[in-house]
Amino acid sequence: MDAVTMRQLAAGLAIGLGTLGPGLGIGLLVNGAMQAIGRNPEAAGQIQVNMILGIAFAEAIAIYALVVALLLKFVA
C-alpha cells in the first residue's frame, strides 16, 4: 500500500474506531437518564440538562478522533 492509500485508510479507521467508545458511553448515559426520567418524571428538566452536559463530555472524545482523522486527511 502506498502512503496516500494508507492515509485514507488511517483516517477512516481513526474516526470509525474512535467513535466506538463515545457511542457506547452516550448510549449508557442516555439509558441512565431515561430510566431516571421514567422513575421521576418531575425531575425530567434537570436530568435532561445534566444528560446533555454528560453527552457533551463523552462526545469530546469522539471529537478528538475526528480531529485526528481530519489531520490525516487534510494536513499530514
Residues that bind other proteins (CB under 8 A): 46, 49, 52-53, 56, 59-60, 62-64, 66-67, 70, 74-75
The per-type count for the chain, helices as H runs and strands as E runs, is 3, 0
Min separation Cβ 53 and other proteins, Å? 6
Min separation Cβ 54 and other proteins, Å? 11
Give the Cα separation of 57 and 46 in Å (integer). Answer: 17
Min separation Cβ 1 and other proteins, Å? 18
Write the DSSP symbol of residue 16. H
